[in-house]
Structure 1
Amino acid sequence: MTEHVDVLIVGAGLSGVGAACRLQERLPGKTYAVLEARDTIGGTWDLFRYPGIRSDSDMFTLGYPFRPWKDPKAIADGPSILTYIRETAEAFGITDRIRFGHRVVTASWSSPDALWTVTTAHGATFTCRFLYLCSGYYSYEGGHVVDFPGRADFAGEIVHPQHWPASLDYAGKRVVVIGSGATAVTLVPAMAATASRVTMLQRSPSYIVARPGRDALADRIRALLPEHLAHRVVRGKNVVMGTFFFQLLRRLPDRASLALRKRVAAQLPASIPVDPHFVPDYAPWDQRLCLVPDADLFRALRSGKADIVTDRITRFTAAGVLLESGGTLEADVIVTATGLRLVAFGGIALTVDGRSIEPGEQRAYKGMMFGGVPNLAWCVGYTNNSWTLRADLTSQYVCRLLEHMDRRGFASCTPDPASAASAGTPRPIVDLASGYIKRAAPDLPKQAGRRPWMMRQNYLLDLADMRFNRLEDGVMRFAGR
């Protein structure tokens, strides 16, 4: 039996729940369903359960603009974020619209019918007028696994953060965390609280920024103003400040790099030098900055319960890790925080009138739709700011687009692929130099050098564009009156 809805949302994580809220707020007459591959709400925030998991953006912007974040913590732990998403879904009546255990495997568009036909892994079929992919770009199947020589020789436990075993007991044990990204800098202080010693082993360092876990100015604003007004003011403040500091660091990379290193140096114990452990070989924001709330990583280093080693791995041994320098790190537990795997469109096989849509060949219109692909949007967030800022803009734009189509009697909307071809040299849609992004770049959609085929990392400019610019811009083609 085939179920038909006006809009089909794929994914019941932070983006999918937000998209459903916006859809029923703006277009209450539309029918919709949310297809979720797993058996619960939360997406990434339910999947990742490693110690210390938290946001690396403030919750006033990572949270939804229509539902104020009430917790005093501006940088929140994973369980608190998961509760927030689930409570939002319940409060807005989204939970009843979610079809759990429905992993989408194919979606095919028929132009004569102006309809998507979507099939799931267990054989269910849905049709819809508009397909909205809100499953992000992380692979839920598994993270990036490095086949270190001697891996099978190690006598202890090896775990990857993406699939953290609930039964893992590391209390009183020696732990080596391999990696230098956001996951590693989160794990080290969290595990150091009970482990005998935790060593962060990195091949190359990252830029690390400490900031308070609570926002003192936000607390004062929330104490003075009504809840929803305070939320808007704090959100606006954080957007402006985040945009300003990003632009400052990008425009003055040498000064920014020096300033970041000085801030780190002031928080390190004398036994740990800044160079080589905190001197990256790239400019700030070539890769995402790692956030450490309340300087927890540096407190762990100063306590002597944690250490950092910058070296390369020769091989695993029965007792730990042999380094290229000749040194060894003894370990009972090795955590391979070696990165994520990215996948476009949730791994769904897309076709348009029988033509296969290869993600790596697509050009992204406004960072969300694709040349020659009708009535489909892909929700991705910012890399230099909170994910939800862009995700919510995308959801509002989709609603605006659907409203326009209803008002004008259109059945389909398709970005013109000829416009994409003339918009300049394609480049990765996720424009960072991180290893996990470089590995996936050939298989992800591309952006170009000119609007509307350029994905800007600027919320303020995108806000004006998506709220006020004409929908019939000469690139978006409407049909089927």
Structure 2
Amino acid sequence: MATPHYDLIIIGAGLSGIGSACHIARTYPQKTLAILERRENMGGTWDLFRYPGIRSDSDMASFGYNFKPWYSDQVLAKGGDIRNYVEETAREFSLQDKVHYGLHITGADWSSKDQCWTVTATHEKTGETRRFTCNFLLNCAGYYNYDHGYRPRFEGEENFKGTIVHPQFWPEDLDYTGKKVVVIGSGATAITVVPAMAEKAGHVTMLQRSPSYIMAMPDTDKISIALNKILPKKLVFKLARKRNILFQRGLYLACMRWPNAMRKFMLRHMRRQAGPNVDMRHLTPDYNPWEQRLCAAPDGDFFKTLRSGAADMVTDHIDHFSEHGIVLKSGQTLDADIIVTATGLDVQLMGGLDLQLDGKSVDLPNKLTYKGIMLQDVPNYAWIFGYTNAPWTLKCDIGGRYICRLFDEMNKHGANVVRPVDRDGLETGTGMLDEFAPGYIVRAKDRMPRQGLSGPWKVTMHYGKDKKMLVEDPVDDGILQFEKPEATTTRDSRPMTATA
């Protein structure tokens, strides 16, 4: 059977993959495109996670696609609604037939001779090995392992007579009505699960080693609701998107510039929300705001649950599991029928792809990342890695636009190969996310590409700067190396033509 060849292959049919594909399909409708997705459904993260209360922790005006407004009064969307939004977008751009499902990508090898990528995948239902080739490869597989989350083993957990659940693999038939539940963790997942489960559970206890910052935010956009009465809804959406992006950026910069003042502000905020009966030891993190991502509580639902008594918080360390619950280092025992291990993600860059150049694996920790979207010396390859301090999808939007501009520039040069080259020898040991400190990132620092000290080699995590760099600045900056077709090339390497 002949190996199918495409101008472009996108790995992943989640928010990043579909969003990037929309930009490219609209600009280059004549090009051949395939989207390879491991799951049997579209949606990525929002198809995988099904735990109670699953939702975004960013407002949908800025988390949704800029080219497809999210018209809803609700600020934080539910997981199922986001999944439907991705599918609806794919239908609008006629992408649904371009997705190949059930494919676990095991490797991608660039051939200098053929000047193309060979992507190898296993069809998980049949075990069949499938291969595809392409001129350009765009990886939108996310940043964590879909096979398992971060799940430390606890002493004596085999003795526990109840049910242990990890949120990444939530059983559809789990009945927690009237049950005693302990949720281990203090991150965004725990802050979501606790109030959602408390609606039916007998009681929920959130067990944490250390507290997180939690911000109550409105679950309805009252400003947009009012403006919709007098302005066109597209304009209202644009205003909401700009307002929310500026607010998020302003909050982050304030935390970086005035950490002590913002810490006091956040602690006062949580005290007001939690009420006088909650011990502030459980709401006083040992780090400054935005050294880790803030947790969002729509309409303060987490704090309402604490005030009602349906849930409580315990800050301690686990000694061991017993038959009936958890014994803590302090000697306290937490009885439980169900234990939820909201202990985090296992970071896996690029879907665990074994990226090779002429059969030799690329050593990611020894490669610089270029404009946060390409890799040093790696030809015709890009990846979407979103923001840690803003909605992930903002990077997807400007990243997709940059890929189109990159194709335009390749056409101008008559080139079919492009790669960023570090001509100045910007050697540095700085990882691309060294300044971000949540556990799942710290555990994965040795797997991260590096960043330079300045210019396009430095990862800014700044939407405004990135937008200028990716959407406005010249593509040909003297760092990209454009290469024309070799006489020995066997694949069709004609430049792709954009539509106006």
- Residue pair 1:139, 1:340 contacting (<8 A) in 2 also: yes
SS in 1 for 2:273: coil
Letter of the 1:222 counterpart: N
SS in 2 for 1:452: helix
How far apart in 1 are the matches of 2:325 and 2:354?
Answer: 42
State the 1:375 CA deviation.
0.5
- Residue pair 2:428, 2:450 contacting (<8 A) in 1 also: no
Residue 393 in structure 1 maps to residue 398 in structure 2: yes
Question: Which sits farther off after the overlay, 44-53 or 110-119?
Answer: 110-119
SS in 1 for 2:91: helix
How far apart in 1 are the matches of 2:139 and 2:102?
Answer: 16
How far apart in 2 are the matches of 1:31 and 1:227?
Answer: 35
How far apart in 1 are the matches of 2:366 and 2:484?
Answer: 27
Match of 1:160 among 141, 166, 183: 166
State the 1:216 CA deviation.
1.2
State the 1:388 CA deviation.
0.5
- Residue pair 1:423, 1:453 contacting (<8 A) in 2 also: no
How many matched pairs? 479
Match in the other structure for 2:491: none
Residue 224 in structure 1 maps to residue 225 in structure 2: no
How far apart in 2 are the matches of 1:222 and 1:65?
Answer: 18
How far apart in 1 are the matches of 2:434 and 2:245?
Answer: 20
State the 1:179 CA deviation.
0.2
Structure 1 unmatched runs, 5+: none
Match of 2:291 among 286, 293, 299: 286
SS in 2 for 1:223: coil
- Residue pair 1:14, 1:43 contacting (<8 A) in 2 also: yes
Match of 1:334 among 339, 342, 350: 339
Per-residue CA deviations over 1:300-336 (Å, capped at 9, x if unaligned) read: 0011100000000000000100011111100000000
How far apart in 2 are the matches of 1:15 and 1:454?
Answer: 22
Match of 2:143 among 133, 137, 140: 137
Letter of the 1:165 counterpart: P
TM-score (norm 2): 0.94
Match of 2:362 among 357, 371, 381: 357
Percent identity of equivalent pairs: 44
How far apart in 1 are the matches of 2:220 and 2:427?
Answer: 43
Equivalence map 1:385-464=2 (5 Å) = 385-419=390-424, 421-422=425-426, 424-429=428-433, 431-464=435-468
Match in the other structure for 1:49: 50
Match in the other structure for 1:76: 77
Match in the other structure for 1:301: 306
State the 1:430 CA deviation.
6.5
- Residue pair 2:433, 2:441 contacting (<8 A) in 1 also: no
- Residue pair 1:14, 1:42 contacting (<8 A) in 2 also: yes
Equivalence map 1:203-214=2 (5 Å) = 203-214=209-220
SS in 2 for 1:400: helix
- Residue pair 1:383, 1:430 contacting (<8 A) in 2 also: no
SS in 2 for 1:127: strand
Match in the other structure for 1:273: 279
How far apart in 2 are the matches of 1:401 and 1:250?
Answer: 33
Match of 1:147 among 142, 153, 161: 153
How far apart in 1 are the matches of 2:428 and 2:455?
Answer: 10
Structure 2 unmatched runs, 5+: 123-127, 486-500
- Residue pair 2:63, 2:392 contacting (<8 A) in 1 also: yes
Residue 86 in structure 1 maps to residue 87 in structure 2: yes
- Residue pair 2:426, 2:452 contacting (<8 A) in 1 also: no
Question: Which sits farther off after the overlay, 430-439 or 156-165?
Answer: 430-439
Match in the other structure for 2:125: none
- Residue pair 1:212, 1:293 contacting (<8 A) in 2 also: yes
Per-residue CA deviations over 1:41-94 (Å, capped at 9, x if unaligned) read: 000001000000110000011100111101221111111111111111112111
Q: CA RMSD in A?
A: 1.3
Letter of the 2:19 counterpart: G
- Residue pair 1:424, 1:450 contacting (<8 A) in 2 also: no
Per-residue CA deviations over 1:390-421 (Å, capped at 9, x if unaligned) read: 111111111110121123211111111444x4
TM-score (norm 1): 0.97
Residue 202 in structure 1 maps to residue 208 in structure 2: yes
Q: Which segments of structure 1 move beyond 4 Å, counting only runs of 4 or more? A: none
Match in the other structure for 2:262: 256
Equivalence map 1:162-181=2 (5 Å) = 162-181=168-187
Letter of the 1:290 counterpart: C
State the 1:221 CA deviation.
3.0
Match in the other structure for 2:32: 31
- Residue pair 1:11, 1:37 contacting (<8 A) in 2 also: yes
How far apart in 1 are the matches of 2:229 and 2:371?
Answer: 38
